[in-house]
Chains A and B, each alone.
Chain A
Amino acid sequence: MEQHTHGAGVPLQIRSERLRSANPKDFPAVTIRDEQWRYLPVERLEGLDSEVQKFAGSLVGFPVQDSGNIVPGSISLPEDLVAANVFALNDTKFIKLVSADAPELLEIKASGTKQGLQFFISNEKFGKNTLVLNHTGSGSLAELIEIEVADESDLTLISIQNLEDDSVITSSQFARLGRNSKFKHIVVSIGGKTIRVVPAVSFAGTGAEVEMLGAYFANGDQHIEHRPFVDHNMANCTSNVAYKGALQGAKAHTVWVGDVLIRQAAEGTKTYELNRNLLLTDGARADSVPNLEIETGQIEGAGHASASGRFDDEQLFYLQARGIPEIEAKRLVVKGFLNDVISQIGLPDLQEELNGIIEAKLEGKQK
């Protein structure tokens, strides 16, 4: 069993100094020598790094608007070439969230290759909303999302990557949190040959709280990569990042790079990030890299944990002592491990569908 667990190290490039630009020409070509791309063989992008066309798939469910009073790029400009290619299309869909009792669902069904799709999501002041973005279909899709979480508002945003197994999706998701706002970001990545999600959070006011959760399962020759980033640029904010993954099969590869930056101004910050991976078979590779940069001593607490590989012996023994064979016990533990995140989506039918896919993958039926 190959395991890759790194302690917190000095990041190869200080995250705060990373280039941001609207212009694809400002970015160097994608290579594995660039820290951002070091784990992703460029051919897996299937041309998304050269150029993209306007999205030709379908958007079903929650209504999107073609114009809004918000400026694309105002939360953040793209941080990499693929996202800049999307920005260059100059075609942003607006999603305005006021306040709703039940979760809203938007299905983003990809079709065709080299597609680009840009959203601007705005959660209004005092608004309390849950929005599920369910990515399905097939092809290659580059996505760029900006999310404005207004002062005193509460948003749960769920991004599900469940595409056909020949597909590629990259998604950059930049959120900015207003004063005393709450943002819960949940990522579930299970379907697609290559999945790369880069969620980034920064703050526009003090007293905000962010929770970033992830669940993923790679089998076959899937490459699933997540790079959450929390930029603590304001005082008295809290972040909690927790990603859980499972891997099965000798060619499965997952990557988790968790960056947390605590700037000088961010006194009273509380942050914790965690990544755990369970390896069901030999040869699967889980890279896990937590990076914590701290520029002020006046923080409340900062910690991180990363572990890949082992199942909890006591959990397995408990299940086996109830007659459940070891392999089935491991599957059950994995299901529970991922369901811990999936059960927070709040849409029972969708949760059941996702759990069903995970079960089928566990039993060796390729999605």
Chain B
Amino acid sequence: MAILEIKNLHVSVETEAGSKEILRGVDLTIRSGETHAIMGPNGSGKSTLAYSIAGHPKYEVTEGEILLDGENVLEMSPDERARAGLFLAMQYPVEIPGISVSNFLRTAKTAIDGEAPALRPWIKEVKEAMTNLRMDAAFSERNVNEGFSGGEKKRHEILQLELLKPAFAVLDETDSGLDVDALKIVSEGVNRAQEANNLGVLLITHYTRILKYIKPDFVHVFVAGKVAEEGGPELADRLEAEGYDRYLS
């Protein structure tokens, strides 16, 4: 059983006009096996929270803590965080020219595990995971995210989630840009990862339709850089019906 705690997190970015505070005191606790949905208007800071957990250098934490089983995550580099068990499925995955998916996956797996995976079982595992996500085998020889469609990029993120087996995953709008079939396929991938590794999930989304497949235990409404309200799955339905007006004054 692992626990990820975010306490009074304040985060700023450098802008041309100086430092700008985006997260204004976020409190959130996620335990293994739990699914937390975060919903909130555009620009409210959801991706900022995701990147701050993963350690993107652009975001400066000015106050507060992130603890993973009591360990101070903020002192870790992004790769140390990943090796400690954190995973971020990005809203906009980056293209890496000249590096094949298979090479990338093997390199990442080796880095996370601290040793190279045994070749035969690894190849089999990758193949199986790709089949499950309905990814053509040809993807493994293509360069990382290069020329992938929006939906293919998202499948590739979930492929990594299943293969790297983190303790906690932040999924930043993994459902955006997916057609109805892909949404189901990708959701099943997340659920498989959760079952297999008792994964804790922080699911950032704008739409309740993904919550039909990935059932949240908790829903957090994110407004102006902090959690404005928390509740169970019923809160998502209310947000869909009413929007965020009541939180914006």
CB-based contact A340/B78 at 8 Å: no
Most buried by B among A312, A318, A329: A318
| Interface 9-residue window, one of A16-24, A128-136, A319-327 | A319-327
Contact, CB under 8 Å: B78 / A339: no
Q: Is the CB of B94 within 8 A of A325?
A: no
By the criterion CB–CB under 8 Å, are A325 and B111 in contact? yes
Q: Which of B9-17, B53-61, B202-210 contacts A (4 or more CB under 8 A)?
A: B53-61
Main SS class of interface, A: helix
Interface: A333 (CB within 8 A): yes
**Given A321-B78, A323-B83, A324-B79, CB of A336 within 8 Å of CB of B107:** no
CA gap between A318 and B57 in the complex, in Å? 12
Q: Is the CB of B99 within 8 A of A313?
A: no
Question: Separation in Å of the B108 CB from the closest CB of chain A?
Answer: 4
Q: Using Cβ atoms and an 8 Å threshold, which residues of chain A touch B129?
A: none
Write the A316-352 contact mask toward B (1 if CB under 8 angstroms, else 0). 0111111111101100110111111001000000000
| Residues of chain B within 8 A of A324, CB atoms compared | 79, 107-108, 111
Q: State in angstroms the CA–CA spacing of A156 and B99 once bound together.
A: 23
Given contacts A313-B57, A336-B143, contact A320 B98 (CB under 8 A): no
Residues of chain B with a CB closer than 8 A to A322's CB: 79, 82, 104, 108, 111-112, 160, 164
Known pairs A313-B58, A325-B79; A318 contacts B94 (CB<8 A): yes
Whether A336 pairs with B97 at a CB distance below 8 angstroms is yes
Q: Which residue of A lies closest to B95 (CB)?
A: A315
In the assembled complex, the Cα of A339 lies from the Cα of B144 at a distance in Å of: 13
User: Does chain B have a CB within 8 A of A66?
Assistant: no
Judge whether A314 is part of the interface by a CB distance below 8 angstroms.
yes
Instruction: Report if A321-B82 is in contact (Cβ < 8 Å); known contacts: A313-B57, A333-B96, A340-B98.
Output: yes
**CB-CB contacts below 8 Å: B20-79 with A:** 54-58, 77-79
Is there a chain A Cβ closer than 8 Å to B88's Cβ? yes
**Candidates B79, B88, B90, B94; contact of A315 at CB < 8 Å:** B94
Q: Is B151 an interface residue (CB 8 A)?
A: no
Contacts of B106-139 to chain A: CB distance below 8 A: 107-108, 111-112
Among B79, B90, B108, B144, the residue within 8 A (CB) of A326 is B79
Q: B82-96: which residues lie under 8 A (CB-CB) from chain A?
A: 82-83, 87-88, 90, 93-94, 96
Tell me the count of chain A residues lying within 8 A, CB to CB, of chain B: 25
Give the docked Cα–Cα distance between A337 and B96 (Å): 8
CA distance A326 to B144 in the complex (A): 18
Cα A343 to Cα B99 in complex, Å, equals 11
Q: What is the distance, in angstroms, from A311's C-beta to the closest C-beta of chain B? A: 11
A349 to B108, CA, bound (A): 25
A326 vs B55: C-alpha distance in the bound complex, in angstroms? Answer: 13
Bound Cα distance from A318 to B87, whole angstroms = 11
Q: Distance (Å) between the CB of B163 and the closest chain A CB?
A: 10
CA distance A313 to B56 in the complex (A): 9
Residues of B within 8 A of A319 (CB): 96, 104, 108
Instruction: Tell me which residues across on chain B come within 8 A of A337, comparing CB atoms.
Output: 97-98
Give the nearest-CB partner of A325 in chain B.
B79
Complex Cα–Cα for A140 and B96 (A): 37
Find out whether the CB atom of A323 lies under 8 angstroms from the CB atom of B112: yes
Task: Kindly report which residue of chain B lies nearest to residue A317, judged by CB atoms.
Answer: B56
Q: Which A284-327 residues sit within 8 Å CB-CB of chain B? A: 312-315, 317-326
Listed residue (B55, B88, B97, B143) with the most chain A CB atoms within 10 angstroms of its CB: B97
User: How many Å from the CB of B164 to the closest CB on chain A?
Assistant: 7
- Cα(A314)–Cα(B107), bound, Å: 18
Contact, CB under 8 Å: B77 / A326:
yes
**Whole-angstrom CA separation of A313 from B57 in the bound complex:** 8
* Given A322-B160, A323-B108, A326-B79, 4 new contacts (CB under 8 A): A318-B90, A322-B108, A336-B96, A338-B98
B contacts, CB < 8 Å to A: 54-58, 77-79, 81-83, 87-88, 90, 93-94, 96-99, 104, 107-108, 111-112, 143-144, 160, 164
Q: Please list the 4 inter-chain residue pairs (A to B) with the smallest Cβ-Cβ separation, ordered nearest first.
A: A336-B98, A339-B98, A336-B99, A323-B82
* Chain A interfacial positions (CB closer than 8 Å to B): 312-315, 317-326, 328-329, 332-333, 335-340, 343
